[in-house]
Amino acid sequence: MSFDKLCPELVSALKDKGITQPTDPQKDVIPKILSGKNILLVAPTGIGKTEAAMLPIFDSIFRTKGKPGIRCLYVTPLRALNRDMLKRMEEYGAALGISVGVRHGDSTQAERNKQSQTPPEILITTPETLQVLFTGKRLREHLKKIEWVVVDEIHDLSSTERGAQLGVALERLAELCGEFKRIGLSATVGDVDDVKSFLSGVGREVVLCKHDTHREFDIAVECPEPDDKDSVLLDRLQCDPDILAVMKRARHLMEVGRSTLLFVNTRETAEWLAARYHMWDEDFSIDVHHGSLSKENRMSIEDRFKNGDLRTVIATSSLELGIDIGSADLVIQYNSPREVSRMIQRAGRAGHRMGEVIHSVILATAPDEVAESLVVARRSDAKELEYFKGRKNPFTVLANQLIAMTMAGRMDRDLAYKIFRRSNSFSTLSRSDMDDVLEQLKSIKMIFEDDNGFRRSKKGMQYFYDNISMIPDERTYLIRDISTRGIIGTLDESFVASFAEPYAMFIAKGRTWRIIEMREDELLVEEAKDVGSVPSWAGSDIPVPFEVAMEVGRMRRKMNFDRYPGDKNCTKKVNEYISKQKDKWTVPTDETITLEIGDRLAIVNCCFGSRVNETIGKIYSALITARLGESVGVSTDPYRIILELPRNVDRKLLEDTFRSIKPGTVEALARITILNSTYLKWRFVHVAKKFGIIEKGADHRFINFNRLFDLHKDTPAYNEAISMVLFEDLDIDNTELVVKMISDGKIRMETGGVSHIGLEGIVRSKELMQPRRADHSILMALKKRLEEEVLFASCLNCQSQWRVAVRDAPERFRCPRCEGNMVALLKSYERESIKTIKMRERNEQEKKDALRVSRNANLVNEYGKRAAIVLAGRGIGPDNASRILRSMHSDEDDFLREIMNAEVLYAKNKRFWD
């Protein structure tokens, strides 16, 4: 087939663009849409999905010209509309005399008024703006004429709250205009049936057209090796040798190609790397793109990259979806991309044109990252995608849509329930749950109800316009350049609250900025040449799925790399890592868990992925806390659960507690565990905003969150927060599967001391990103300085004092005069405080001084020379020294680095005390 089923005018418009033959998806889909079927088209980016959906719609509208109202609605989830797609649609429309309009959050009032008076035949909009279209009386009349709805990037919506909101909106639309044809455009996904059900709602037939098999992937994994000759550059960039090795290899690949996308997993990493490349070479053609940069900055970067003025963009998921930036020669991924679906989406940015092989390189150096990258690359090639099912019946969306329904007039409970039940996300909603949510909304005066149904309140109307989006909103601050007054980007509230202060420095847009002035909603900054801190943005890191982590465990067990596309360094790195473990300890795999017990520390090595380990970690630490009656700290990564214990705990208690988690108990235990967690309280804040309990923009300083939380116990909003934690932060189903496998003996547990693999999780931060991470030479300079310090050894018994150079400090201190073993090490300005020990009466300050001297002597008695090194640090008193001495350190560098961090913190805060 050529385009023979389309009208000649449209064929001519296509010919003007150099398009004479349809792609395979277009051949398949165009006749089906023309014959009136609902379609889900699954195909990768760059093979004409938009044309496959829209050409038959343009054709049908052209053949039946003169009908009033909006005839086709094109819904896209992208925050930045694809400008190239928009241009093509407008050109097709102009050739056929069909009006095409756009409506989203940035549309001017004049444009909106014009659309209400004279609606376009095809309207491009977002899921959020669709909510607003129902509110205008004139617009509702235009919506009654809709014949087609196209949902672009539907895979990105189907399992989210945004998707649930859109699903209900489509059913409200069907109630308004009768049935219309539904067309979904999706990238390759793990569960096509789920996306199909999302599009169809309940009781409709959707034809699946799948065209995602022809694209060839060439995803290679490389493990660059550090070069001993790089010490000067290492010093200048203040980074680890491993990272510099990756940066050098990436730069070589960028310079060989014409245009490169360098994907990273977090905004922090994007900023960190861009800043280092600019320090390395100010003229290097590289920039950074992520969601916290201003719209103007992002669009400028997209245009410069597309025009060839910019060689490389370092990007997060902000460039994964269909933003039009042309085609890159190569996609580089820094460290494992965590998920197969994400890797396929990112890699698809290279070789956008049909038939082109997709070239992509993953660069990783840490052993866990290398192994995980190999697994993701193999699974990408084999199209073994994971899929996260959406949560059924989300009450936040239920509350939001009940209020939204009142914006078009009075609503009947029975009709509202019928509309919800037709959408896939609410197909199992019980009437009592909907009624309970309605009652809570009535209790806070979001809606009123009488015998004729429920209607909006003034408060509800304000809520609707404040909560059109289901995307969680954390307050953000603008970053404004003081010299140009231009907006650079945004910072999350959490970063501003914990870090920002005048003259502090941070990295944004790949450059360092100094804060000049802090205002209510913005920071005024100037560019600085030093290295700054990297802001932390909410929800940055990507979880590793259960399936990927389990395959990493299987790789450790079988050590067969034949199927994995890695270079020889990758194999060498993983081999060395596992061989070192085998020498002394058991290797944790997909069939073996190891419980490692150290000094006030327990590490469970388990290859179950981020969310399963988070679930087990929460339950396990809560059970140990209950048994000990003391708090237990817990942190997790995809391959470990690390417990910080209040004291050394009996091995048997740790083993028995782990084994006490039985099949069938996971959800119940998780529910009990999360009741007092910060997770739940943060989730409740999001839910409270979406229910209208907390108003948008409310000043957090004046809200007692704990009281608010307690006040709403056992309400639908409270239960919704629990549901969100259980099904979005944790993974109940796969944890249940793991617990059953342990119970059935398919996964065994072994106990031992702290191993090399266990320690890896403590000594290596996830992205190896520590802005001021000192290299070995800096730490040795610190050690030399500390050893040259002179302290005054002061006997608590006889009060005699003598000078001690730290380098000459003995392992055990004893007073030469009275042979007492309680000796404090004091700096010269503290010498006089030894007198407070023998005082019969002390004032408040003298009591504090006596306590400090006693604690100091206790540390010296317990740790000897090691205590002398720490206490010689600037601004390090007994409390900080105790924390450093009691921490676990993998080597001397790690120990010295902690002393250095304490000194930096002291220097930063000193002006508040002076």
Tell me the CA distances in angstroms from 897 to 306, 748, 769, 872, 901, one per residue in order. Answer: 43, 37, 14, 14, 6
SS3 380: helix
User: Do 395-466 and 8-210 fall under one CATH topology?
Assistant: no
Given a contact cutoff of 8 angstroms between Cβ atoms, the answer to whether 629 and 653 are in contact is: no
Q: 591: how many CB neighbours lie within 10 A of its CB?
A: 15
Give 375's contacts (C-beta < 8 A, 6+ positions apart).
548, 551, 552, 555, 564
For the record, the structure tokens of 284 come out as 């290097």
pLDDT, tens only, 581-602:
999 999 999 999 999 998 888 9
* DSSP H stretches of helix in 100-221: 109-117, 127-133, 137-143, 161-177, 192-200
Cα–Cα distance measured from residue 617 to residue 542, given in angstroms and rounded to the nearest whole number: 18
- DSSP-derived letter for residue 209 is E
Q: In what order do the strands lie in the sheet with 207-210?
A: 100-103, 122-125, 72-75, 148-151, 181-186, 39-42, 207-210
Beta-strand runs (E) in 606-754: 633-637, 640-644, 748-752
Q: Which CATH number fits domain 8-210: 2.40.50.140, 3.40.50.300, 3.40.50.150, 3.90.190.20?
A: 3.40.50.300
Spell out a b/e string for 361-393, using b for 16 or more CB atoms within 10 Å of the CB, else e: bbbbbbbbbbbbbbbbbbbbbeeebbbbebbeb
Q: Is domain 217-381 given the CATH code 3.20.20.70 in the classification?
A: no
pLDDT, tens only, 97-118:
999 988 876 667 777 788 778 8
- What kind and span of H or E run contains 556? helix 546-558
Domain boundaries, the chain: 8-210, 217-381, 395-466, 491-528, 586-754, 776-913
Cα–Cα distance measured from residue 857 to residue 865, given in angstroms and rounded to the nearest whole number: 12
Cα–Cα distance measured from residue 624 to residue 601, given in angstroms and rounded to the nearest whole number: 12
pLDDT of residue 815: 95
Q: What angle in degrees, to the nearest 10, is found between the helix axes of 546-558 and 568-584?
A: 70
Q: Which amino acid is at 302?
A: E
Nearest residue to 132 (alpha-carbon basis) of 391, 354, 461: 461
Q: Is domain 395-466 given the CATH code 1.20.950.20 in the classification?
A: no
pLDDT of residue 320: 59
Give 452's contacts (C-beta < 8 A, 6+ positions apart).
410
* DSSP H stretches of helix in 282-366: 295-307, 340-347
The pTM for the full model equals 0.74
pLDDT of residue 375: 97
DSSP letters for 490-533: EEEHHHHHHT--TT-EEEETTEEEEEEEE-SSEEEEEEESS--B
- Where do we find the tokens 């109202």? 69
- DSSP-derived letter for residue 836 is G
pLDDT, tens only, 175-199:
999 899 999 999 888 789 999 999 9
pLDDT of residue 82: 65
Nearest residue to 278 (alpha-carbon basis) of 530, 486, 482: 530
Cα–Cα distance measured from residue 156 to residue 361, given in angstroms and rounded to the nearest whole number: 24
pLDDT of residue 777: 60
DSSP letters for 590-640: SSEEEEEEETTEEEEE--S-HHHHHHHHHHHHHHHHHHHTS--EEEEETTE
For the chain, what is the mean pLDDT?
86
Which residues, given as ranges, of the chain have pLDDT below 50?
498, 536-539, 765-774, 910-914
For the record, the structure tokens of 674 come out as 């999360």
Half-sphere exposure of 128 (CA within 13 A, CB side): 15
Cα–Cα distance measured from residue 860 to residue 560, given in angstroms and rounded to the nearest whole number: 51
Given a contact cutoff of 8 angstroms between Cβ atoms, the answer to whether 624 and 673 are in contact is: no
Q: Which amino acid is at 736?
A: E
